[in-house]
């Protein structure tokens, strides 16, 4: 496999993870729009709240990113801790 073929193959695999994350995000957002703010119980069955749904989404996106990096590909998300925090500029 040539270097160009390897790069194309890796980009195709990375795009697969990006699509998976995008699909999961769209699905979770549409579910969260319909959910209530508080967890509910209907006939003994728990109905997740907006917070539950978004927490599950965050965990899933982290797992997808870890799988992507685990295959030796570039991450599709940056950790918040890894980004530099910019201080506000003073106003004269």
25-72 pLDDT, tens digit each:
999 999 999 999 999 999 999 999 999 999 999 999 999 999 999 999
- pLDDT band (50, 70, 90) for residue 78: confident
What is residue 82's predicted lDDT score, i.e. its pLDDT? Answer: 57
Bridge partners (DSSP) of residue 42 are 45
Check pLDDT > 90 for residue 86.
no
Structure confidence at residue 80 (pLDDT)? 61
User: Of 77, 62, 89, 76, nearest to 13 (Cα)?
Assistant: 76
pLDDT attached to residue 81: 63
Q: List all residues 6 or more positions away from 24 whose beta carbon is below 8 Å from its beta carbon.
A: 57, 60, 61, 64
Query: Between residues 81 and 1, which one has the greater pLDDT?
Result: 1
Q: In this structure, what DSSP letter does residue 60 have? A: H
The SS3 call for residue 82 is helix
């Amino acid at each position: 496999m040539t270097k160009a073929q390897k790069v194309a193959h890796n980009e195709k695999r990375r795009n697969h993870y990006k699509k998976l994350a995008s699909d999961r995000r769209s699905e979770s957002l549409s579910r969260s729009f319909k959910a209530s703010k508080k967890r509910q119980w209907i006939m003994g069955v728990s109905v997740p709240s907006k917070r539950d749904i978004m927490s599950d989404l965050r965990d899933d996106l982290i797992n997808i990113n870890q799988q992507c990096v685990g295959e030796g590909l570039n991450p599709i998300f940056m950790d918040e801790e890894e980004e530099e925090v910019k201080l506000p500029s003073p106003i004269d």
